[in-house]
Structure 1
């Protein structure tokens, strides 16, 4: 009798802990995301599987979003074709996916102007003290809310191409 009660109690605790799990790491079992498209002017990001849109998100951008990113500190979000080259589970912005900006041509251009091209461009959330304020609040990144980055993080793998349009 005691053994059955103990097992029932353990089972109930496991069930309750699973229900209360607030883990930021979600499972995704849908169609593979094969590319990301970002339209800066519309503040929209689309995840595609093949030629089908899987998800659409409203986004925030850098504080000076018009035009391509050229220099560190310009507040612009890059434009062009890049890749997701790192998944950061310990981001100050909840979770984040790094965009492979800058490319060699962007580095050369910035250096020819005596400047740095910048970097550390991510798709990220808004965790903690870093919550965004206003329409475009990042230093050049692409931001969504924390729930959305959890979903995106589960769907997008390293190597996924990202097309960022004006």
Structure 2
């Protein structure tokens, strides 16, 4: 039923397949250059129009060829990236702004003193066998508490600026 052309001897090249022509090889099609100049021009025109009709039929019949942007994985990835993307910046709270601008001048000394006492108390409790809490005190929590207390101590005029 499905038979392939095989040369009688393997050292012979099989006949050139006419179906494997490319767009630039139209002049190499057997019989395309036979006849008068007018007949050759008509054959070239028929070939081009038939090729165009086939291309349009395949594009219309099969629909758009899926590309990388159409795949489900890519769409899923872009959706995840969109959900995880950075939100627009928001205005800092007054305490956070105070801490950002005046940390070295007004917060750092108080924080260092309070954190060192909290760390020493934790180390003493650990050495005595008390394991509550297992981890040393969190610097961030203490830093925020000190900043909030120092913000509250500032004068009303300073806070309104």
Q: TM-score range by the shorter chain?
A: under 0.3
Structure (1/2) with the larger helix percentage: 2
Structure ID, larger Rg: 2
Structure showing greater relative contact order (alpha-carbon pairs closer than 8 Å, 6 or more residues apart): 1
**What TM-score does the superposition give when structure 2 sets the normalisation length?**
0.24
**What TM-score does the superposition give when structure 1 sets the normalisation length?**
0.24
